[in-house]
Amino acid sequence: NQEALTHVGQPNLNQALTQMVPSFQAQSQGTDMASFSLSARLRGVSPNHTLVMVNGKRRHGNSILQVINGAFGGSAAPSIDLIPPDIVQRIEILQDGAAAQYGSDAIAGVINVVLKKQVGETRVNLEAGQTREGDGEVLSAGINHGFALGDDGFLNLTAEYRDRGETNRAGPDTLRVPHPRVTQHIGDADAKDAYLWLNGGVGLGAGELYWFGGYSRREGSSYGFFRSAGDGRTVPDLYPNGFLPNIVTTVEDASLAVGYRAPINDTWDWDLSLNHGRNRFGFHESHSVNVSWWYEPNGTGIYGTSPTSADTGTLKYDQTVLNLDVRGSVDIGNSEPLSLAFGGEYRQENYAIEAGDPVSYTYGRTNNPAIPIFNQNGGFAAPGIQGFPGFSPNEEVDKGRHNYALYADAETRFGGKFLVGGALRFEDYSDFGTTTTGKLSLRYDFTDAFALRATYSTGFRAPGVQQLFYSQRSTNIDPATGLLADTLTARQDSAVTRAFGIDPLKDETSKSAAIGMTWRPNDHASLTVDLYRIDIDDRIIFSSNIAPEIIGTDSLPCNATNSNCPIRAILQPFGVAQAQFFTNAIDTRTTGLDIVGEYGTEAGGGRLDLTALLHWGTTEVTDRRSQSPILTPAQLFDDSQVTLVERGQPSAHHVLQGVWSRGKWDWTLRANYYGSVAGEGFTPGYRQVWDGATLFDAAVGWNLSDKVRVMVGADNLLDTYPDKWNATYAFPFPQLGFTYGWETLPFGINGTYLYGKVHLKF
C-alpha cells in the first residue's frame, strides 16, 4: 500500500517491489537501449510469464526486447517503472499460476496496480538523492490531486517528473589504449522521465462510467562498446583516440481504458471495458561514424566524410483489449452460495519496426555489397553507424495478430471450512490456434486462525509478437577473443533460421502446482508458507551465439570455400560474425518456497512492526533439443546458456525489515540478502560465481505535522558491491574495464544511494 511504498528509498516501482515481495526479482541494470526498459519477474521464470494489470485490466507490453545476454533476455514484458508511484494506491500480487483466469502470460502470477481514488486532497512528493560516489543524482517531484465529480464521481490526477543522472563503475582499460583510462560506460543510464496519469469514475444510470490511463515519456542517454583507435570500426581522422558511441533513446508509453459497470440485480453485476495501450522506442546515435561512408571510393580517392549522428529507427507495439465480465452468486442449497464469474476477451496486438536514416544502416552510399570498401586496416568496412547499425528496410515490419478468449470461474465453500474453486479458459489465436487451460484451488480452514491451501493449473503462452517479428544487427564483444563482433539477431522463420533448419516458433505449455499454509495466531502476527513448482515445456529462449567454424582446425578441416563449414556458409552472405534467434529449445522446471511473516507489537513506548520475506527458488533445464540438422542441442543452447537459466538469478532472496514508530518519528532498518549467482556467457569454459551478499537500508522519518513528513535514508548503507570478475580466468573483460561482471548481478553495482524526501498533504 501507499504507506509501505513511503518506507522504500528507491524512486521507481520496479526496484521498490524487490524490497517487499520475496520472489520478485528486478533487472538491476541494462546496457545500450535495454537501459530504458528494465524487466522484472516472479518466481524465477521469465518476465514474459507474469501478467501486469492496472485496475484489473491487462497492461500492454514493451516494443523493445531485452537482447543483452542475461537472465532477463528475450523479455518484452510491461515496464512497471513507467507507472508513477504517486498514482498508486496499492499493489496486489497473486503468486499462483493464473493463466486460466487472466490469460496465457499469467503462468507465474499476476501483478495488479490499483490507482488512487481519493478526492479533496493534494499530495506533493519531493525527492533528491545520489550515490556515495557522487553520481547517479536523482531529482523527483510529483503532485497528486483528486477532484469530486458530482455527488459520487471522482477524478484523480498525477503529474510527476524525475531526472536521474548516470552512474559509471567501469574500471581502467589496460589493453586498448596507450595509457590506462576508463573507456567504457557501465552503470545506470541518464534518464529524464515525465508522467501524466489519471483515474476517474462517475455515476451513470444504475452503474458507473470509469476511465484510467496515462502518458509516460522517458528521454535517456546510454552508450555502446568502446571502439579503440586501431579498430576497423573507427576513423582516425575523426577519433584518433577511439570513441564511445552514444545512444539516445526516446520512450513514449500511453494507455487509456474506458468502461462501464453496473448491477444486474442484488447478486449479479457486469463490466464492459475497452483498453488501448501503445509503446514507442525511438533511437538516435551520436558520437559515431559510418566507416563505409568515410572510406567509400569516389573515383579518385575516398569520400572522407560521414555523418557522426543519425536516427537509427523506431520500434512500436500496440494492444487493444475488449473485455466483458459478469459475476455473481447462485444458491445451491449449500451453507454458502456458489460464486461465479464468466466472460470474454478480444485482444488485438501489432508490432512494427521502422527503418532509420540511410546512413545508419547502408554499406556506402549506394548500399551495393559488390563495391569493395576497405577500412583503415585493409579489411572490409562495416556497414551502418557505430553503436549498433540502424534498422534497415530489411528489418522493417508491420504485422499483428488477434485472439479471443472465453472463461468461467466458480468457487464455493462447504461446511464453512472447505473452499473449492475452479477455472477454465478457452483461447483462440489467429496464428497459433486454440487451447484450453484450467485451474483447481482448494483451501481448508481448520480454525479461524489456521488454513491449508493448494492449487494446480495448466498454462499456454503463444510467442509474443515481439519475439515473432524482431530482428536486428548489433555489435557485441566476442567472448572467445574479447574483440568486437557483429551479431545478427535473426527473425524466427527467416532465411537464416530456415537455413539452419530451425522450425518456426510454437507455443509454450506449462503445469503449475503449489501447496501452502496461512496462520494468524493473534491480532499481532501472521505467517504464510507456500511451496510451488512450475514446469514449462517448449520454452522460448534466445539461442546461443552461433559462430562459424574456425578455418584450418585439425578436428574440422575447414577451408575458405566453406565446403566443410556449414555454419560459415550460412552466415558469410550476411557479413556477420555470429547469429542468434528465438527457438523452442528447452524444457525447464522451477521449484521454490516463499515464507512471509509479520509481527507487530508495542515496544519502547512506540510501535514496532517486523516483517520477514524469505524466498528460495531454483530452475533446472530438464531437456535440450534441436530440430536443426546442423546444430546439436549443445550448440543451439550451450552450457553457458544453461548456466544463465539455472544460476543467472539468486536461488535465495530474503528481506528482513523493522519499522519502529514513536510520536512523530519512525525508524526503518532493512536487510536484503541475495544468494550467489554464476555465469559463463562471456567466459566460455570458466564459470564465475559471485557470492551472496546482504545489503542494509536505513531511514528515519519525521512527521512535522499531519501535513508534512520528512524522510532521509540510505539504501545499501554499507556500500556493498558484487565480487569483481576474476582477473585471470575472465580475461580480457576485467582488463577492458568490466570490473564487476556483466550478465547477472542481482543488486547492481552503484553502491550506496543516499536520499531525502518531503511529503506534503493539504
Mean pLDDT within 553-557 = 55
pLDDT at position 586 is 94
Residue 293 CA to residue 367 CA, distance in Å, equals: 10
Amino acid at 379: G
Residue 739 CA to residue 727 CA, distance in Å, equals: 9
Grid cell of 222 as nine digits = 546510454
Please indicate whether residue 388 or residue 601 has the higher confidence score (pLDDT).
601
Strand partners, 500: none
Phi-psi region of 719 (alpha: psi -120 to 50; beta: other; left: phi over 0): left
**Residues 14, 704 contacting (CB under 8 angstroms):** no
CB crowding 259-275: b at 16 or more within 10 Å, else e? bbeeeeeeeebbbbbeb
pLDDT of 348 > 80? The answer is yes
How open is the CA angle 7-114-756, to the nearest 5 degrees?
Answer: 25
Mean pLDDT within 187-211 = 95
Quickly tell me which residue has 576474476 as its cell: 726
**Residue 215's pLDDT band (cuts 50, 70, 90):** very high
pLDDT at position 4 is 78
pLDDT of 105 > 90? The answer is no
Residue 134 CA to residue 348 CA, distance in Å, equals: 46
pLDDT at position 482 is 55
Amino acid at 102: Y
Q: What is the mean pLDDT of the chain?
A: 90
**Residue 263's pLDDT band (cuts 50, 70, 90):** very high
pLDDT at position 648 is 87
**Residues 131, 753 contacting (CB under 8 angstroms):** yes
pLDDT at position 558 is 66
**Residue 577's pLDDT band (cuts 50, 70, 90):** confident
pLDDT at position 70 is 62
The pair phi, psi for residue 102, each rounded to 5°, is -120, -20
pLDDT at position 480 is 56
Grid cell of 217 as nine digits = 515519456
**Residue 6's pLDDT band (cuts 50, 70, 90):** confident
**Residues 274, 344 contacting (CB under 8 angstroms):** no
pLDDT of 483 > 90? The answer is no
The three-state secondary structure class of 543 is coil
pLDDT at position 250 is 95
pLDDT at position 560 is 53
Residue 268 CA to residue 450 CA, distance in Å, equals: 31
pLDDT at position 47 is 86
**Residue 8's pLDDT band (cuts 50, 70, 90):** confident
**Residue 681's pLDDT band (cuts 50, 70, 90):** confident
Mean pLDDT within 463-478 = 81
DSSP 137-181: -EEEEEEEEEEEETTTEEEEEEEEEEEE--------BSSSSSS-B
Amino acid at 680: E
Strand partners, 518: 451, 528
Mean pLDDT within 729-745 = 85
Residue 291 is inside which H or E element, if any?
helix 291-294
Phi-psi region of 82 (alpha: psi -120 to 50; beta: other; left: phi over 0): alpha
**HSE of 432, CA atoms in CB hemisphere, 13 A:** 24
Mean pLDDT within 292-311 = 94
Residue 59 CA to residue 594 CA, distance in Å, equals: 26
**HSE of 491, CA atoms in CB hemisphere, 13 A:** 16
pLDDT at position 18 is 80
DSSP 534-575: EEEEEEEEEPP-B-PPPTT-SSS---TT-TT-HHHHHHGGGT
pLDDT at position 332 is 85
pLDDT tens by residue, 366-383:
998 888 999 999 988 989
Strand partners, 694: 673
Residue 336 CA to residue 409 CA, distance in Å, equals: 16
pLDDT tens by residue, 393-431:
989 999 999 999 999 999 999 988 999 999 999 999 999
Mean pLDDT within 641-653 = 91
pLDDT tens by residue, 155-190:
999 999 999 999 999 999 999 999 999 999 988 899
Closest CA to 28 of 234, 186, 252, 142: 186
Closest CA to 514 of 576, 440, 419, 434: 440
Which segments of 394-526 does DSSP mark as H helices, in order?
A: 465-469, 495-500
**Residue 680's pLDDT band (cuts 50, 70, 90):** confident
pLDDT at position 384 is 92
Mean pLDDT within 518-538 = 96
Mean pLDDT within 282-306 = 94
Count, residues in the chain? 762
pLDDT at position 555 is 54
| Pairing of the two strands 40-42 and 88-94 | unpaired
Amino acid at 34: A
Phi-psi region of 480 (alpha: psi -120 to 50; beta: other; left: phi over 0): alpha
Please indicate whether residue 544 or residue 409 has the higher confidence score (pLDDT).
409
Q: Which residues contact 573 (CB under 8 A, 6 or more apart)?
A: none
| Rounded percentage of the chain residues whose pLDDT exceeds 90 | 69
Rg (CA), the chain: 27
pLDDT at position 275 is 97
**Residues 637, 586 contacting (CB under 8 angstroms):** yes
pLDDT of 562 > 60? The answer is no
